[in-house]
Each structure stands twice: as C-alpha cells, then as structure tokens.
Amino acid sequence: MSDALPAGSVIGILGGGQLGRMLSVAASRLGYRCHIFEPGAQPPAGHVAEQVTTASYDDHAALRAFADAVDVITYEFENIPTAALDLLETLKPIRPGRAALAASQDRLTEKTFLQELGLQTAPFADVSDAASLDAAIAAIGAPAILKTRTLGYDGKGQARLKTADDAAEALASMAGAPAILEGFVDFSHEVSVIAARGLTGEVVCYDPGENVHRDGILHTTTVPARLSGSQRMDAALLAGKILTSLDYVGVMGVELFVTPGGLIVNEIAPRVHNSGHWTQAGCAVDQFEQHIRAVVGLPLGDGQRHADVEMLNLIGDDVADLNTQMRATRTQVHLYGKAEAKPGRKMGHVNRVLG
C-alpha cells in the first residue's frame, strides 16, 4: 500500500450520474473523498461527494481548478471532449488512461483495435457517404446496422438496414456523422465481463453476467451466465488481453456475444458498467470499489462471487411503485436520486440474490 494514495486523498470524477454516485460511495468506504466535475445542475453524484464543480468541459479555468483540487482523475463515461483531456492530463494522472478512451470513443478504432489483438468482432466497414455504404453492404450483406462512430449509447445513433433498400434512409439518419456498418452476429445470448487491472498490472475478472436488453437498454443481468467452463475461461483471457494491451488501470466492461464459433466482442466500455451492478450483492468488493482501488493504487480486492444474483434495471416509471421490491427477501433496491422519471431514463436498479 506504500504506493497508494493515502486515505483522505481526493479523487476527481468526470461525470455526475449514477456511476459517479456509486463510485463516490465506494471511495468513501476506503476513506477517500470525491470531487465531481459535471456540466449539468444537481448531479446525482453530488449528493454523496464532498465537492461538485458545475462547469462545461470547455471551461478551461474550471478544469484547471478541478485538477488542482484533486489527486487523481477518473471518469464515469467515455465521451469526454478530447481538449478537456489534453488539458487535464498535463495536470494530474487520468486513470484509466487515454489509450482506453481512444479505443472506445470511436467504434471504428475500437473494432480495429480488437481485431488487431486477434479477437473476433462483428464484420464491419467504414461508412462516410453513399458510395462507401454501398461498398459496405456489398461486403457485409444485409440485414446490418449502421452506427455513428462516436457518441452512441443505449441504442441511440443507430439505424437498422433490413435490406440494401434501407441504405439511403439509414444514411440520412446519421446526419452526416462518420459511421460504420456492422453485420449482424448470429448469437445465442450476450454476456459481459467486468474486469479490473491494478496499477501494478494485476488483473481480476468478475464472473460473467448474462444480459437481456429491452428497447436497446439493458434490462437484466443474471449471474452466473449460461457459459461452458472453456467459454468462461475464454472470456476472462480475452478481457485480460484487452486490459493489458492498453496498460489499463481501473474497471472495464466487455460485452460479448456467445456464438457456436466462439465469443465475439461487441463493445468495450472503459469504466464501471451497468452490467456489473450485480457485484454489489454478490461479491465482498463490488465493481465500484474495485475501480477506486485500481485508480488510487491499492491492491485489487476479492471479486469472487459468493451468490447468484439477478440485477434488474429500473427505467422511467419503474420507480413509481417499489413496494414489492422493497419488501422482497434478499433484495437490494438502489435509487439514483434523479429528480424526474423520464421514459428511458435509468432511475435505479434492483439486485436480487437468487436461491
């Protein structure tokens, strides 16, 4: 622990949503204080952080003051403007580092990186205009899915092509943004591995969870996932390969499609991940604490799963009546303190210990 930031140090977190909120709580368990940087007013993470800076990512004076006030910087989302990172990294360590952000902010860079590591991805092709889209459809076939290269999440910035006839409409919906066409993968189910790598290079993976989506948003994650022993091993090995090749420090979410031909990497997220919320109920050290441990240079904790868990996301009006969940056995309700329950907004989640 001699190399770890001493207890009482301040962790700067870019982003004040529910992930920042749960990171701040985890940091408090280890004696650290948190400072949130967030453009939006009343960020959920602000309820449990010692300091909040409300400022835009192009406010360089605010960024400088934030960096001066903290000992290390981490983040709860990957789409941080590059200029802000360029400034911050001259002032304080940013963990996970820039390589991970570069590899995950852009779908084309991400898939190219994964292929170069020897990992399987969906077939993909760069699309910048009608001609390159036609070429992509010729190479990949249809159905396929057109996605903006950057800034997409929870099904946003995507258009499905049932046939080549949908090309023009799909391209128009990208509004001129650089895109990639991805072929469909014939998978039986999706799993994700939440992996962590410490400052000294040690890697720990949580047991993979099985994800079910609804309307493009994660609905449930259940552990254990339906995987053979060798699939489970493959998942851990490929996650370790990704983290190590990026000299990664922190927790990463790696989404995988399970196919007869092996595991296919869907996407990586260089942060704590919604599909890892189950660790709050199933492990002594959850993904949020594991991320904080890595970021401050503490040894990684015990991520062994001691219980089967189902995590259920509470979206929009799902929080209107929680009486049943509040009273249920072996059940944790987590709410994010968001003021308004808009449709599609993640308001909380429920962890139910199974069996």
Query: Which residues are annotated as part of the binding site?
Result: 107, 147, 152-158, 182-185, 190, 213, 266-267
Selected binder of a second copy within 86, 328, 344, 354 (CB under 8 A) = 328
CA separation for the pair 86, 80 (Å, rounded): 11
DSSP codes joined into one string, 119-135:
--B--EEEESSHHHHHH
CA separation for the pair 26, 196 (Å, rounded): 15
Selected binder of a second copy within 175, 260, 327, 343 (CB under 8 A) = 327
Selected binder of a second copy within 90, 230, 321, 343 (CB under 8 A) = 321
87 binds a second copy (CB under 8 A): no
Instruction: Return the residues of window 47-76 that contact a second copy according to CB under 8 A.
Output: 47-50
- Judged by CB under 8 A, the stretch of 56-64, 252-260, 268-276, 345-353 that binds a second copy is 345-353
* Residues in Cβ contact with 161 at an 8 Å cutoff, skipping those fewer than 6 apart: 137, 142, 143, 144, 145, 146, 167, 170, 181
- Judged by CB under 8 A, the stretch of 105-113, 236-244, 254-262, 322-330 that binds a second copy is 322-330
Site string for a second copy, 277-316 (x = CB under 8 A): ----x--xx-------x----xx-xx-x-xx---------
- CA distances to 206, 236, 254, 263, 329 from 191, in Å: 12, 12, 8, 9, 26
DSSP codes joined into one string, 136-148:
HHHHH-SSEEEEE
- When the beta carbons of 191 and 281 are compared against a second copy, the nearer one is 281
Residue 265 pairs in a beta bridge with 121, 256
H/E run at residue 340:
none
- Binding residues for ATP, as ranges, are 107, 147, 152-158, 182-185, 190, 213, 266-267
Residues constituting the chain: 355
CA separation for the pair 209, 284 (Å, rounded): 17
323 binds a second copy (CB under 8 A): yes
Selected binder of a second copy within 83, 138, 172, 326 (CB under 8 A) = 326
- When the beta carbons of 84 and 309 are compared against a second copy, the nearer one is 309
Selected binder of a second copy within 120, 177, 332, 345 (CB under 8 A) = 332
Selected binder of a second copy within 30, 65, 87, 108 (CB under 8 A) = 30
Q: Shortest gap between Cβ of 320 and a second copy (angstroms)?
A: 10
Half-sphere exposure of 164 toward its Cβ, with a 13 Å CA cutoff? 12
Q: Shortest gap between Cβ of 337 and a second copy (angstroms)?
A: 5
Measured CA angle at 262 (ends 137, 153), to 5 deg: 55
Q: Shortest gap between Cβ of 280 and a second copy (angstroms)?
A: 9
Q: How many residues bind a second copy (CB under 8 A)?
A: 50
Contact 184, 122 (CB under 8 A): yes
Selected binder of a second copy within 330, 342, 344, 354 (CB under 8 A) = 330
Contact 178, 203 (CB under 8 A): no
Selected binder of a second copy within 7, 139, 172, 354 (CB under 8 A) = 7
- When the beta carbons of 40 and 299 are compared against a second copy, the nearer one is 299
CA separation for the pair 351, 172 (Å, rounded): 40
- CA distances to 101, 259, 265 from 256, in Å: 19, 9, 5
CA separation for the pair 256, 209 (Å, rounded): 10
Query: Which residues would be at the binding site for a second copy (CB under 8 A)?
Result: 1, 7-8, 21, 24-25, 28-34, 46-50, 281, 284-285, 293, 298-299, 301-302, 304, 306-307, 319, 321-323, 326-339, 348, 351, 353
